[in-house]
Amino acid sequence: MRNYINIALLKEQLKRYWAISALSLLGYFLFMILPLISSHHPMAAPRMMAQILSMSYPMVIISIVLVPFVAVMCITGHFFKARMATAFYSYPINKTQMHLTNALAGIILVLVPFLIVSLMLLVPVYVPFNQNINIHSSYFSTPALAGSLVNPPLRVLSFFLRVAIAKIFYFNLFWLMFSVAGNRIIAILVSAVTPFIPWGIHMLGIAVREFYVFGSRFASSGDFIEITIAHANPVAWTLLTRGQPLVYLYFWYAAIAVLLGAGALAVSRIRKVERTGDSIIFHPVKNVLIFLVSLFSAIVCALLFMGLFSISPVSYYVGLVFGFGLGFVVAQMIAEKSFAIGDKLKSIVWFGGVTAVIYVAILLVTQVAMVNYLSPRFIPAQEDIAEIHLASWVPHNPARRGLHPRDPQPVTDAASIAHAREIHRQILENRPAITAPWVERQWRYSIHFVYVLHDGREVWRQYQNITRDFYIESGILELKERTGAPITGGIFR
């Protein structure tokens, strides 16, 4: 143990930054425990306890991110101040010991106050005997029956483990980002952006697919994005556990936390003291961040230009070029901490060339692979289909479908299913002919297919920018009117 942890340095760090634990414990007490014990309404305490234990209480969510961030910000001061770095590296210990000791001190400062609060949450809280509580969480039975215990020990233990894993996840993530950065401003910016990189990649894929591929949706894009965010951010743990508590998430987030910790250790070991104060310590990482900022700016400007001027390929590509150039200049200024970046502008050709190659590769994949190879397989076989929904807002939970009297009815008879499949086939085989041209004030329609198969699986398809003639002549309008599905479309300028 002493080969990896320096006890003297550990005690020194805990003594120096004890205020982090004290303030976080005070925050837990003022904003979580005190409202819990001071509520006068008999239903207030059970409901609040249920929110806390299901990780949906605001104080819990904020603390998962804020406390680890503050701890990392304080403990990694030697990353950004040359004098402090010199003092730290003058200790008779190696970089591995220094990193592991500081990391252990930070984790103790983060978890000990929360452990104390979790022990306080073991005080029994019961549902009043004359009422039930509807708790929309997979960690509770719905409803919580009158007289039942809201916070049994196993439920509190599960809550502590989930939040502890989440805190360690963000602690290691922030430590890794601070290890890469050379000053606090860059470290904060990188820490804020990194958790959303998976979401950004997902959004880029959706944008490219919707712009080039004519219908390729297996399920709701919104649900896919929600799942992507939740798998990359344990603070959104509850987004994935609406149906049942998923045990694999404990191992998923814990594994990522371990990988992030290993990455932070590796970076800390090769980090050079003389680079302290630079915007980014490692030059390859600087290029990657400049590229990501430029690409993000290009996508945002492309969508903005399409909204401000016209929904056409011209405005889209002009926005891409303008946004990439703007993002590149701003990113270089931040990286160099100066407005004098004239010598750096020549590299925009290299960055732009890489972007163009990636974009063409995405285009080829979407056009050739998805359209020519996968599209013919997008229509399920007739014998596999139980019903087809034609509305764009079909609830994803099958139990919620048809609850409202105005909900559209599904297509269930064999003749209508065959007709819908034929319309779908015509869309796939005649995309250019039935796609409305980019003309201002042109009325365009959208068509949705939700195939519900006999084995319970579902296949979702969405097709936009359909001409009025095809919408009427194909018979989709008749099917929609018969089932009560809404007619979706509009005039775009």
Rounded to whole angstroms, the Cα distance separating 47 from 439 reads 55
- Measured CA to CA, the distance from residue 70 to residue 167 in angstroms comes to 12
| Predicted local distance difference test score (pLDDT) of residue 97 | 85
Count of beta carbons in the 10 Å neighbourhood of residue 468 = 14
Answer whether residue 216 shows pLDDT above 50: no
pLDDT tens digits for range 29-75: 999 999 888 877 777 888 888 888 888 888 898 999 999 999 999 88
Residue 397: pLDDT over 80? no
Q: 178 near 103, Cβ under 8 Å?
A: no
Q: Find out whether 166 and 234 touch, Cβ atoms under 8 Å.
A: yes
b vs e for 19-56, b when ≥16 Cβ sit within 10 Å of the residue's Cβ?
A: ebbeebbebbbebbbeebeeeeeeeebbbbbbbbbbbb
pTM, entire model: 0.70
Model confidence pLDDT, tens digit, residues 221-244: 444 566 677 777 887 776 555 545
| Residue-wise pLDDT tens digits, 86-128 | 666 666 778 788 888 999 999 999 999 999 999 999 998 887 7
d(CA 220, CA 210): 13
Whether 311 shows a pLDDT value over 60: the answer reads no
Which residue did the predictor score with more confidence, 147 or 20? 20
Q: Rounded mean pLDDT of the chain?
A: 76
Q: For residue 50, what pLDDT is reported?
A: 83
More confident residue, 458 or 1: 458
Residue 80 has pLDDT above 60, yes or no: yes
| Cα maximum dimension of the chain | 82
CA atoms of 31 and 485, how far apart (whole Å): 47
